[in-house]
Amino acid sequence: GAGVSQSPRYKVAKRGQDVALRCDPISGHVSLFWYQQALGQGPEFLTYFQNEAQLDKSGLPSDRFFAERPEGSVSTLKIQRTQQEDSAVYLCASSFAGTSPNEQFFGPGTRLTVL
């Protein structure tokens, strides 16, 4: 594809529901990142994959958040038992190589609203 895609673009969940957010990175991109952007704030790092390996998950706010990238391409961010404070835009980014810094290309984000 031409860029990073994310689905769904919008998700409304009732408090306590589980949600799954999908990211399709640019083909061939080794690194994949998830960020959380609260309203009126800058994105905050959640987790980072190099191929299928999750190298850094230091930004995940609680054990309710889980991310995977089993085949080194598509990634899913899962949030269990959603809370109102989980309402945010979830951004996915990918970059070409993991061993040297490269530009991160961002997807349009998934806006999650927890009622």
Partner 1 sequence: GNSVTQMEGPVTLSEEAFLTINCTYTATGYPSLFWYVQYPGEGLQLLLKATKADDKGSNKGFEATYRKETTSFHLEKGSVQVSDSAVYFCALREYGNKLVFGAGTILRVKS
Contacts with partner 1 by CB under 8 A lie at 4, 31, 33, 35, 40-45, 48, 55-56, 59, 91, 93, 95, 98, 101, 103-104, 106-109
User: Which CB atom, from 12 or from 55, has the smaller least distance to partner 1?
Assistant: 55
User: Which CB atom, from 51 or from 104, has the smaller least distance to partner 1?
Assistant: 104
Report helix, strand and coil shares of the chain as percent, to nearest 5: 5, 50, 50
- Between β-strands 75-79 and 65-68, what pairing exists: parallel, antiparallel or unpaired? antiparallel
Distance CA 107, CA 6 (A): 6
Q: How far is the CB of 55 from partner 1 (least distance, A)?
A: 7
Q: How far is the CB of 5 from partner 1 (least distance, A)?
A: 10
- Name residue 62's amino acid: S
Q: How far is the CB of 81 from partner 1 (least distance, A)?
A: 26
**Nearest to residue 26, comparing CAs of 110, 90, 111, 106?**
106
User: Which CB atom, from 72 or from 98, has the smaller least distance to partner 1?
Assistant: 98
